[in-house]
């Protein structure tokens, strides 16, 4: 069978050239005589891999020296606890914007460890927009201000960042990291599960301003303490060695084949425009998000008729466009068009949708 166009929300598409490189190096990496999977994380050859991965990430995202990069496990979801355990150690209160399921989970988890002040919510309309924020509701003494930058399920994104002053901004970028240029200095902490834009599942990347490290509460489990991981070069215990190696290949692809983060952003804008332009003109398929809040990565759409949605998802899969079923809380469809989805894949999907529309 040929490779399909995979619109999965995560784990998601990885560039074919990355997979082929991994395949070529799978059994015997360089002249190591073994696979990356088999080697000690303490070996010089593996140290070179993790060092190179970090150097590439720093280069691609322009991460300043006063930020640490940590390669962790436990998924983005573990960060929902790890962040308050490490950062909510001043006033014990944080600000949070409720923009979807992942922000809700972060809220629930943080509420076990600190007081969460919800400064904005879009729950009233199934999280189909980013709420306008009233700065007077922000707590100037908050230990941090939490957002989910791109809402994977609902297809919204923060186009502008909240003005939270000196309060460190913490952002879940699981589904948008590496998709566009960002100013890292605007954030106290950025985190992402790797399985959307960075590689396979099993790796979680944390980018944290160094002055925020070393403030963990006494009860914090060792493995949940940023300081432990920072002081040990992400090797306090065995890191997710193969996932980090795959992340290195993805970063090499982004830098060398795509041409860096600006080129990536341009391609992503082009792909999203192709989808939204069609959805805005279609008489059958309707986008669920409008205006400036639209995500460049996850594009939900509906027909308004559940049977038709189902029939479409089935027909699309048969034609090689897979994983288009929407999240159950939104229904309909969702096209996740992460970095590794080529422009051609989006063009072909839109062509398929146009033909489908005509055939009805
Ligand atoms: C996928 C996703 C998560 C959950 O990631 P896990 O690694 O499965 O814990 C959290 N936040 C966002 C925005 C996501 O897209």
Q: Cα of 283 to ligand 1 centre, how many Å?
A: 33
Is 253 catalytic? The answer is no
Is 102 catalytic? The answer is yes
Half-sphere exposure of 67 (CA within 13 A, CB side): 25
Is 105 catalytic? The answer is no
- For the Cβ of 75 lying below 6 angstroms from any atom of ligand 1, the answer is yes
**Mean pLDDT per 10-residue section of the chain, whose length is 360 residues:** 95 98 98 98 98 98 98 98 98 98 98 98 97 97 98 98 97 98 98 98 98 96 98 98 98 98 98 98 97 97 97 98 94 97 98 97
Out of 11, 12, 77, 78, give the residue to mutate to test ligand 1, the one with the largest number of ligand atoms within 8 Å of its CB. 77
Number of H helices, E strands in the chain: 9, 14
Q: Cα of 205 to ligand 1 centre, how many Å?
A: 12
Of the candidates 270, 294, 266, 278, the one whose C-alpha atom is nearest the C-alpha of residue 350 is: 278
> What global pTM score does this model have?
0.98
Q: Cα of 57 to ligand 1 centre, how many Å?
A: 20
Catalytic residue among 172, 293, 309, 325: 172
Q: Cα of 341 to ligand 1 centre, how many Å?
A: 19
Out of 11, 72, 75, 174, give the residue to mutate to test ligand 1, the one with the largest number of ligand atoms within 8 Å of its CB. 174
| Degrees, nearest 5: CA angle 25-30-33 | 90
Catalytic residue among 95, 102, 253, 271: 102
The confidence score (pLDDT) of residue 194 equals 98
Out of 80, 130, 193, give the residue to mutate to test ligand 1, the one with the largest number of ligand atoms within 8 Å of its CB. 193
193: which DSSP letter?
A: E
Cβ neighbors of 344 (< 8 A, separation 6 or more) are none
- For the Cβ of 122 lying below 6 angstroms from any atom of ligand 1, the answer is no
The confidence score (pLDDT) of residue 1 equals 80
Residue pair 155/334 in contact by the 8 Å Cβ criterion:
yes
Domains of the chain, each with CATH number or no CATH = 5-13+259-359 (3.90.1150.10), 17-257 (3.40.640.10)
């Amino acid at each position: 069978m040929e490779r399909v166009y995979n619109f999965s929300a995560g784990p998601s598409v990885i560039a074919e050239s990355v997979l082929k490189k991994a395949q070529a190096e799978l059994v015997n990496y360089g002249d190591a005589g073994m696979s990356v999977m088999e080697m000690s994380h303490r070996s010089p050859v593996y140290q070179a891999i993790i060092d190179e991965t970090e150097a590439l990430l720093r280069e691609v995202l322009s991460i300043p020296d006063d930020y640490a990069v940590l390669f962790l496990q436990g998924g983005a979801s573990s960060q929902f606890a790890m962040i308050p355990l490490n950062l909510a150690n001043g006033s014990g209160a944080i600000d949070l914007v409720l923009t979807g399921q992942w922000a809700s989970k972060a809220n629930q988890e943080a509420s076990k460890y600190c007081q969460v002040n919800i400064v904005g919510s879009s729950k009233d309309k199934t999280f189909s927009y980013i709420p306008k924020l009233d700065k007077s509701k922000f707590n100037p003494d908050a230990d941090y201000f939490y957002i989910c930058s791109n809402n994977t399920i609902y297809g919204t994104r923060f186009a502008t960042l909240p003005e939270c002053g000196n309060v460190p901004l913490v952002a879940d970028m699981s589904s948008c990291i590496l998709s566009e240029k960002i100013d890292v200095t605007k954030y106290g902490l950025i985190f992402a599960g790797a399985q959307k834009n960075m590689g396979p599942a099993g790796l979680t990347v944390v980018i944290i301003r160094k002055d925020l490290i070393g403030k963990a509460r006494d009860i914090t489990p060792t493995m949940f303490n940023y300081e432990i991981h920072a002081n040990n070069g992400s090797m306090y215990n065995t890191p997710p060695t193969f996932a980090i190696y795959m992340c290195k290949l993805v970063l090499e692809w982004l830098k060398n084949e795509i041409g860096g983060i600006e080129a990536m952003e341009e391609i992503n804008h082009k792909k999203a425009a192709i989808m939204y332009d069609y959805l805005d003109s279609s008489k059958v398929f309707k986008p669920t998000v409008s205006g400036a809040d639209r995500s460049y990565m996850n594009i939900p759409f509906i027909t308004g008729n559940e049977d038709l949605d189902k029939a479409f998802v089935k027909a699309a899969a048969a034609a090689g466009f897979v994983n288009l079923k929407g999240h159950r809380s939104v229904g309909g469809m969702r096209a996740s068009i992460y970095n590794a989805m080529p422009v051609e894949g989006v063009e072909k999907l839109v062509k398929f949708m146009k033909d489908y529309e005509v055939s009805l």
